[in-house]
Structure 1
Amino acid sequence: MNLKRLDLGVLVVLDALFKEGSVSQAATRLSISQPSVSYSLKKLREALNDELFVRAGNRMLPTAKALELEEPLRNLLSILQNDIIQESHFNPKIDQRRFIINTGDVGEVAFMPKLLSWISREAPGITIECAYAKTVQLPQALEDREIDLAIGNMAGLDNPNIHRTQLFEHPFVCAVSDSHPFIRDTLNIDLFRQAKHVGLAGEGYSQEIFEAEIIKQAGVRDVVFRTKHFMHLPQIVRGTDLVATLPKIAVAAQQNTSGLRIFTPPFSLTKVPVAMYWHHRYHRDAGLCWLRQLVMELFAEKDPTNDFEISIQE
């Protein structure tokens, strides 16, 4: 038998003939034409070197050879339907699975409390692991499933296989010590330029854009300390005379903001678009579809810092 002459379609036709015993009724069952059924039967007869079905009045009766094939055929089609073709299912209430989410320290503080609280109540078998890959490494990590979902600002991530859905836009603030020698109740552009600053260090397109925009709007500032991380900056600023321009969440998440003054930046600073990213290869994965939908329900147009009380001076 030459398998190259057969395809899945003719096997489906053969199964319909077993069930209906009629070319016309098999065609009706499959919503195809009678000539299509007859052509498929012809291909099967040639490939298997057997009549397969013989006419007896108004019926088509299977030959001995066909009867030998009936049960294996139905087993094969069942495997194809249930294990290969059928979409996967995911039930967060009973399934167990680990999801790896790519996000930085700011993202962990912004997203994990609400996400983990919901999961602990509604999906007890689900665990979350946070990881961090540089933007340039992210497409491969997503494709290899080293990371399931990325959340944050991955500016410069330009890959046709990566899906992106924006969640919200997040503002920046400026933080200074309340004992700063000359910044008191206001922070204007002149005071900003006179002050010493914390700068953002690290490799990545997002950092480059952030630093470039500050320079464009406020000029070159006097940066005396650089760091890759935001979350510890309020503590550093509290004990120094430095100005830190940082995401609002880095301040809002502090249990104690005493000793700090928080200002709106004295220049136009574009809000950061926060989005989630995933690979097209797993676009229809049932578990990841559930996770993405959950993230959308919790955070779409819902900046987590809106839940924090923080006094920001203009």
Structure 2
Amino acid sequence: MLNTKTVKETKADKAFIAFVYIFLGLALLVVLYPLVYIISASISDPQLVNSGQMFLFPKGITFEGYTTIFDNKDIWRGYLNTIFYTVLGTSINLIVTLPAAYALSRIDFFGRKSFMNFLLVTMFISGGMIPSYLLVKNLGMIDTVWAMVIPNAASVYNIVVTRTFFQSTIPREMEEAAIIDGCSDFKLFSKVVLPLSMPIIAVMALFYGVGHWNSYFNALIYLSDKSMYPLQMVLREILVLQDLSSNATSNITASMAEMMYSKQQLVQVIKYGVMIVSTLPVIIVYPFLQKYFVKGMMVGSLKG
């Protein structure tokens, strides 16, 4: 075994290592600064934030924004709706993606190449927004939960990645042994394949879950009932109302303008607070899935 202590680094090696550390440090700053700024702005005085006096660390610490957030029923309702859409949507995604990918990975599946080519076509050609809306409308899913989860029930890219994982990770000999022992196809999939596929399941759950958590476009198109809005739509309305109030201050009295201006400043802080509240669950969940995420991505995307 090579002893790394006996290997001398050349000047070029040291220069390259120094460059790597500098580059990683800059990348860390680029990623970390917005996060620190948002956290600081969410607990800082709105006037100091809007005037640009708060650059990185909080100034004039106040939790008025978070108090307003926790007292706002629309935000809480949007939060609960988003959790529900994410859990239900991710469950449907996994129920569709995993069996489809496993079937396409089986070499004895008749016509699998034709099915795979058909799926790949949909990655490059789509019907467009208007036909999609008409389809959802004709299916009676407008202003229902299903409009948020059914149109995006599966991703062809994720099916391809999962299929590659099954092909490269699950030994064919193990499947044949299970079949000889009397396993049906369903038992083989549920009792043998799925327990060995936790890395890719975690990756797909994270991919689909983050997609549902950040989704607002389906709600914008298919939902008109505000009680069904996800959190991202509630946040969008806050931003829109902020823009409208800033444009309306020129046509009202000075006292009303001052009151609206103070509310507008508070909305800025609420905006940052909602960003923190909306991203916190994903940040909390990711460390528990990280080990599966790295393994699943490497095996699922590089082999096959």
- Report the TM range for the smaller structure's normalisation: under 0.3
Q: TM-score, normalised by structure 1?
A: 0.21
Q: TM-score, normalised by structure 2?
A: 0.22
Q: Which one has a bigger Cα radius of gyration? A: 1
Higher helix share: 2
Higher strand share: 1
Highest RCO, 1 vs 2 (Cα 8 Å, sep ≥ 6): 2
